[in-house]
Amino acid sequence: MPDASPRSEFLDGCREMLPVLLGTIPFGFVAGVAAIAAGMTAVQGVALSMFSFSGIAQLVASQLIAIHSPVVVTVGAAFVVSLRFLMYSAAMAPHLAHLDWRWRAGLSFLMTDQSFAAAARHYGESRPHAHRHWYFLGAAITLYLSWQASVVLGVVAGAQVPEAWSLDFAVVLAFIALLVPAVRTRADLAAAIVAAAIALVAAGLPYRLALVVASLGGIGAGLAIEAGRRR
């Protein structure tokens, strides 16, 4: 059997994202609404989305801009919630090492939770061949274009959605869809529970610092459980 062509890999990657879009489109819409609600102009809201392309970072930045936080705090909080990209990047690096820097820069810019998950699965399951990065690219571009369209929709139409629909809850649900498969071991579970508990207890801290403290506490709990089991 000949290797899959770049074209067929690309299209497979696009297709793989279609069910995911049902979760990310409402999420993008909410991110667009949040930017406008934070007092950003439409151009600023769309620029934030086009250049940062991360729902979590966009929401955290919007919340902090809304309360006129210092720029350093806004950027610092977005940095911490984006730390998971370090792990994704480390996991993908060996698969992409043979590509030239333009490919690696482009895929870096476009990588999200969902396209990382799909690409990691594809690299794990498929027979090794030369064009698998086209699958990653197809998934990532599908998400990028649909995300920007849904953010623009949120920016334009956002204020008109009735509050009773509780559309902001779709964001929490989109994170649940990522959280559940991320908890595989007992140490993962400890990290999640400790982080959740700290996030609630520390909720009074200013500038969404609770998120930072809770994330670090959860990571510590995961490491502690893992160290305890090895002894």
Partner 1 sequence: MSVWIAIAGVSFSTFFLRASFMLFADPHRFPHWFRHALKFVPAAVLAAIVAPGLLMAGGTPDLSLANPRLVAGLIAMVATFYLRNTFAAVATGMAALWALQWAFGHFG
Chain centroid to CA 212: 16
At closest approach, how far in Å is the CB of 204 from partner 1? Answer: 10
- The residue (of 7 and 145) whose beta carbon lies closer to partner 1 is 145
Alpha-carbon gap, residue 140 to 143, rounded angstroms: 5
At closest approach, how far in Å is the CB of 93 from partner 1? Answer: 4
Listed in sequence order, the residues at least 6 apart from 66 whose beta carbon sits closer than 8 Å to its beta carbon are 37, 38, 39
At closest approach, how far in Å is the CB of 7 from partner 1? Answer: 23
At closest approach, how far in Å is the CB of 81 from partner 1? Answer: 6
Cα angle value 161/166/167 (rounded, 5°): 65
At closest approach, how far in Å is the CB of 16 from partner 1? Answer: 11
Given a contact cutoff of 8 angstroms between Cβ atoms, the answer to whether 84 and 214 are in contact is no
- The residue (of 2 and 19) whose beta carbon lies closer to partner 1 is 19
Alpha-carbon gap, residue 180 to 157, rounded angstroms: 31
Maximum C-alpha span of the chain: 60
Token digits for 212? Answer: 């930072």
Per DSSP, the chain holds a count of helices (H) and strands (E) of 12, 0
- The residue (of 4 and 78) whose beta carbon lies closer to partner 1 is 78
- The residue (of 7 and 125) whose beta carbon lies closer to partner 1 is 125
- The residue (of 61 and 139) whose beta carbon lies closer to partner 1 is 61
